Amino acid sequence: MELIIEAVGGEGDGIAPGPEFVPGALPGERLLARRVGDRHEIVEILEASLDRIEPVCPHVPACGGCALQHWAHAPYLAWKVARLGETLSRERIETEIRAPYAAPPGTRRRLALHARPGSGGVARLGYKTRRSWDLVDIRVCPIADPALEAALPGLKRLAAPLFESSKSAPTLHVTLTDTGLDIDITGVEARQGGLSADGRMRLAALAAEANLARVTLAGEAVYLARQPQVRLGPAQVNLPPGAFLQATVGAEDAMAALVTEAAAGATKIADLHCGVGTFTFRLAGIAPVVAADMSGPAVAALSAALAGAPGLKGVETQTRDLVRRPMLAMELKKIDVAVFDPPRAGAAEQAGEMGRSKLSRVIGVSCNPATFVRDARMLIDAGFRLDCVTPVDQFLWSPHIELVGVFSR
């Protein structure tokens, strides 16, 4: 059928009246499309948008990793910012939306690469196709740091021993650290004993051949040549296996600058969902910090790095589940600024306690505008004002947008 695209939806698909969803289409385009399941496939673009550009990756459009490489940068980024504004509007929240930070290509330091059996001593490795379990075996990845892209051949060899069980569907969680690549592998069938001793030995030998820093199987060490480390503000942190980091160093620095700017003048700070200390070490240069997270290994890594971090006002660490056991209003009574950076599910329980507290400022960092807006509404109803929001686009060419929001009484 012939379709005219009116908008781009939340998953990056073009939308025609109906609604009809067309991956790869842009607003204003007229095209011929055929229905495939609940979506359409472009047969021919009859009138292309002036904003359409040639994708930089040879794996587009098969690869599901990037949905929007065909869109020029300025309108693509404006669309993300507009979607954030629409999400705020749904909860009747008006605020200043500041100029966004956008990560450039070639800066991603974290990748999740799916592996499938291959041949000739190498596995197939890459990303799933959109809405499918099929795999695109990638040769290049323009979003990734060049060091990660250069490591792809070695990672394909590394994944080859992982298929002793036909039920294994491994994912290599690859992190570029200051001391080399850190790989945590999940999805290896464990019910039949997991990877054999011979398989582990082969995995370690291939890790050494690829000059990797560390390889773990669901957190269990298989190979360690160098302790993976990253610098977070004034601290050098030894990462536990599978530790969370912001996807790009540039976005981390931009978020940290926004958080510390908003926390200036604080007398005591709570850093909630602190992880390994992305914001903690920087905030502790302003005032004493209480840092809490449910991950014991992350909190232990943060605590161990404190001794080598100069100029800190003091950090108290807590391992606690802030969903089941949020920091209560009475525990926040000596704290004037709180920072929260929760998982995608948000921080509804903690937002309720912050609303009941005497905090003067709250700084929210979010990877999910929908749950951020829900939590923001709770804070606003409790007497806070959302002063501003800064969008952060670190998942380049995807529909995802992150943000830093600043609240005051």
Element (DSSP H or E) covering residue 372 = helix 369-381
Question: For residue 115, which of 102, 104, 105, 124 has the smallest C-alpha distance?
Answer: 124
Catalytic residue among 57, 66, 367, 388: 367
What is the spatial distance between Cα 304 and Cα 238, in angstroms, rounded to a whole number?
A: 8
Positions of E strands within 266-332: 269-272, 289-293, 315-319
Can you read off the two tokens belonging to residue 172? 């290599």
> Would you call 224 helix, strand, or coil by DSSP?
strand
In sequence order, the β-bridge partners of residue 42 are 33
CA atoms within 13 A on the CB side of 348: 5
Question: For residue 274, which of 342, 211, 336 has the smallest C-alpha distance?
Answer: 342
What type of residue is 216? T
> Would you call 302 helix, strand, or coil by DSSP?
helix
φ/ψ region of 144 (left if φ > 0, alpha if ψ in -120 to 50, else beta) reads beta
Please state, in angstroms and as integers, the Cα–Cα distance from residue 4 to each residue in 17, 39, 49, 211, following that order. Answer: 8, 15, 11, 51
Neighbours of 259 (CB within 10 A): 23
What is the spatial distance between Cα 395 and Cα 328, in angstroms, rounded to a whole number?
A: 33
Question: For residue 181, which of 121, 224, 136 has the smallest C-alpha distance?
Answer: 224
Per the annotation, the verdict on 367 as an active-site residue is yes
Helices vs strands, H then E, count in the chain? 9, 24
Give the residue numbers marked as catalytic: 367
